[in-house]
Amino acid sequence: MHAAVNSRDASNDAPSERRTQALVALAAKLRSYDYAFTTVTPLTHAYNNERYGSKWARDLRDVFGWSRPFLRDMVAPEDFDLMLQAGILRPWAEGWRSSIRWSSLGDVLLSHSAYPTSSAESVFFGPDTYRFVHAVERWLETNPAPMAIAADVGCGSGAGAIALAQLQPRCQVLAVDINPQALQMTRVNARVAGLQNMTPVLGSLLDNVADKLDLIIANPPYMMDAQERAYRHGGGHLGAGLSVQIVEQALRKLAAGGSLLLYTGVAMVDGEDPFYTQLQGLLQGVACHWRYEELDPDVFSEELRRPEYASVERIAAVFLTLTLL
């Protein structure tokens, strides 16, 4: 049994491997320093950096957590050399900035894009990631039956895939993303976590996955983004387009008895949940058990100031679990 992998996933070239090795070594150094950082929302990050002002970074949490500029002598020479080998140094006035962050999730360190995540190729990590992974972990703890093959759709940093691979060590976990930069981050993070049962797959949703799957997990973008950046834009009606597509694909790709775990955000209008209404239509007549719960009634409230959200009263984080009969 194997997955179809897009031939453009050129992850084994020598320069890429050298960068990966340097990042893995850097993560090991950070662990030896007891480094830890909890990534917050972009708005909270902005508040903290505004309060901090234009001062140079004081420690590695400032450098790799808060994405603050630093002077060379603040970082140990061997750490600076690893950053140089990894290709993550960016000039900043008379100092430098790191192009990646490192965040803590349980006992794992995960690399992802530096703040602010303005590029279309940014690899996002934040409070949604924590909620998603914790929801997946809770489900796996109550559904521990061994699985053969599973996929994390739109894996980003690989946080969900890594949690799944750790809890299901005999399962082959496909980490799927349309963004090559996300797959590179996932590859690094899987190696930092010491995992051998993960395979990065370049592709749109599950288009490049041939196998029937025992489990699909997903935390897709759900915002309405005027720039349509891949890591952020959900598409479709009120940002629910990707979530709807994932449910549709899951109904075709899941093996008998297979499950979908979908964490997403929903733009609520006039007290109604339009995604739930779409789900009712999609799942009518489908032989399955499904459960839908609102995990957080109010996330990313700052987005409501944008014109795209003029009709939206709140954005809620929801979690769908679906199992085919």
Residue pLDDT, tens place only, 43-69? 999 999 999 887 999 999 999 999 999
What's the confidence (pLDDT) of residue 228? 79
Asked whether residue 99 carries a pLDDT value surpassing 90, the answer given is yes
Average pLDDT over residues 24-32: 98
| CATH number of the domain that residue 188 is part of | 3.40.50.150
- Is the same domain home to 46 and 181? no
Q: Per residue in 135-165, pLDDT tens?
A: 999 999 999 999 999 999 999 999 999 999 9
Rounded to whole angstroms, what are the CA distances from 62 to 140, 168, 317? 34, 34, 29
- Is the same domain home to 71 and 132? no
CB 158 within 8 A of CB 198: yes
In a domain, 9, yes or no: no
For 196, the 3-state DSSP assignment is coil
Phi-psi region of 135 (alpha: psi -120 to 50; beta: other; left: phi over 0): alpha
- Among residues 85, 113, 141, the one where a domain terminates is 113
In a domain, 122, yes or no: no
CB atoms within 10 A of CB 208: 18
- Is the same domain home to 174 and 265? yes
- Is the same domain home to 32 and 62? yes
| Residue closest to 5 by CA, chosen among 183, 165, 147 | 183
In a domain, 80, yes or no: yes
Q: Where are the alpha helices (DSSP H) in the chain?
A: 14-32, 42-52, 60-64, 77-86, 127-142, 159-167, 180-192, 241-253, 274-283
Rounded to whole angstroms, what are the CA distances from 243 to 30, 130, 285? 36, 19, 20
Q: Per residue in 243-280, pLDDT tens?
A: 999 999 999 999 999 999 999 999 999 999 999 999 99
In a domain, 316, yes or no: yes
- Among residues 54, 85, 113, the one where a domain terminates is 113
Structural domain harbouring 314: 127-324
In a domain, 65, yes or no: yes
- Is the same domain home to 161 and 293? yes
In a domain, 4, yes or no: no
What's the confidence (pLDDT) of residue 223? 85
- Is the same domain home to 165 and 103? no
- Is the same domain home to 234 and 306? yes
Asked whether residue 6 carries a pLDDT value surpassing 90, the answer given is no
What's the confidence (pLDDT) of residue 54? 79
Q: How far apart are the two ends of the chain, measured CA to CA in Å?
A: 23
- Is the same domain home to 279 and 166? yes
What's the confidence (pLDDT) of residue 234? 80
pLDDT band (50, 70, 90) for residue 8? very low
- Is the same domain home to 101 and 149? no
What's the confidence (pLDDT) of residue 239? 87
List 101's β-bridge partners, or say none. 112
- Among residues 90, 113, 136, the one where a domain terminates is 113
Domain count, the chain: 2
Asked whether residue 16 carries a pLDDT value surpassing 60, the answer given is yes
In a domain, 41, yes or no: yes
In a domain, 8, yes or no: no
Q: What integer best gives the mean pLDDT of the chain?
A: 93
CB 174 within 8 A of CB 197: no
- Is the same domain home to 131 and 61? no
Average pLDDT over residues 75-85: 97
- Is the same domain home to 197 and 316? yes
- Is the same domain home to 199 and 320? yes
